[in-house]
Structure 1
Amino acid sequence: MYDRVLVPTDGSTASEDAIEHAIGLAKQYDATLHALYVVDAGTYSSLEAAADVVADELRAEGTEAVEAIAAQADDAGVAAETAIETGIVHRSIVDYVDTEDIDLAVMGTHGRTGVGRFLLGSVAEKVIRTADAPVMTVRATDVETDDTEE
């Protein structure tokens, strides 16, 4: 059913539960796990002199994050591939899904609702709406949420 499972990460604790689910699914289906970190071009695009330094730091952070996922996958007996992309996060994830023929994307979500979600947007929501592959979202269990609705 699943040969290629993608877990995008931003290196946050909200990603940890999604990583566990993705590794478990990859193991169950004998699939390859793809760990992806997207360097958000918008994070440093307005900087002039320090843009290269910031981009390099974000790439280093991303490398550390995907290598940690690959190590977890290896410990579980799951084959893993890692990738670092640069661009608009949700678009880069969807492009990766298409390019690598991903069967399932497993993404963490911060669980924001109301104004918090509206103002910040939701990468997971944008991926769900635009990806051709199924997307499983995993709500972070140990992350304080921004609930403004009851």
Structure 2
Amino acid sequence: MYDTILLPTDGSEATTDAAAHAFSHAERYDATIHVLSVVELSSGLGTAGRDEEKLDRRKRERTATAEQLVEEHAPEGVDATVAVEFGSPTRVITEYATEIGADLAVMSTRARGGAGRVIFGSVTEQVIQPGDTPVLAVQR
């Protein structure tokens, strides 16, 4: 049913819950899992003349966190790859899902209501709305 599963991670504890589901599905369906971490380019990292050292450090940190997630949760025999990309999380996740032909994305979400939801939204919700990839949202 699933051949390629995408697991976006921001390194949070909520992602750990989503990882358990993602790796369980990967094992059950003999699917490859892609763990994707997105380094959001904010004004603190600038656009022109970005501080390459800061970007490199953030990429190394995100890579280590994603690799640790694989080490701790991937059952033996499950193929997993790690990628770190730069940009807007919603855009990067949806484009990456299309690029790899993901059959399923497994994402964490926090239960947020009222003004918090309106103001901040949710990357998971933003990926679900326009995307062609089915999303399993794991609520924390």
Q: How does the TM-score come out when normalised to structure 2?
A: 0.90
Structure 1: distance between partners of 2:77 and 2:111: 30
Distance 1:9 1:43, change over 3 A: farther
Structure 2: distance between partners of 1:24 and 1:43: 37
CA contact (8 A) 2:85 2:92 kept: yes
Per-residue deviation, 1:33: 0.8
Determine whether 1:96 maps to 2:96: yes
Identical aligned pairs, as a percentage? 40
Letter in 2 for 1:104: L
Per-residue deviation, 1:50: 7.2
Per-residue deviation, 1:54: 2.8
Structure 2: distance between partners of 1:63 and 1:96: 16
Deviates further, 36-45 or 18-27: 36-45
1:85-125, Cα deviation, whole Å (9 max, x unpaired): 11110100000000000000000012211111222221000
**Structure 2 unaligned blocks of 5 or more:** none
CA contact (8 A) 1:4 1:34 kept: yes
Q: How does 1:1-150 map to 2 (within 5 A)?
A: 1-42=1-42, 44-46=44-46, 51-140=51-140
Structure 2: distance between partners of 1:76 and 1:120: 38
Report the 3-state secondary structure (helix = DSSP H, G, I; strand = E; otherwise coil) of the residue aligned with 2:68.
helix
Deviates further, 27-36 or 50-59: 50-59
Structure 1: distance between partners of 2:124 and 2:74: 26
Structure 1: distance between partners of 2:117 and 2:135: 19
Structure 1: distance between partners of 2:60 and 2:73: 20
- Aligned partner of 1:145 in structure 2 is none
Distance 1:116 1:49, change over 3 A: same
Q: How does the TM-score come out when normalised to structure 1?
A: 0.85
Report the 3-state secondary structure (helix = DSSP H, G, I; strand = E; otherwise coil) of the residue aligned with 1:130.
coil
Q: CA RMSD in A?
A: 1.9
Deviates further, 122-131 or 64-73: 64-73
Per-residue deviation, 1:75: 4.0
Q: How many residues align?
A: 140
Report the 3-state secondary structure (helix = DSSP H, G, I; strand = E; otherwise coil) of the residue aligned with 1:63.
helix
Structure 2: distance between partners of 1:108 and 1:35: 13
**Structure 1 unaligned blocks of 5 or more:** 141-150
Structure 2: distance between partners of 1:28 and 1:61: 30
Letter in 2 for 1:29: Y
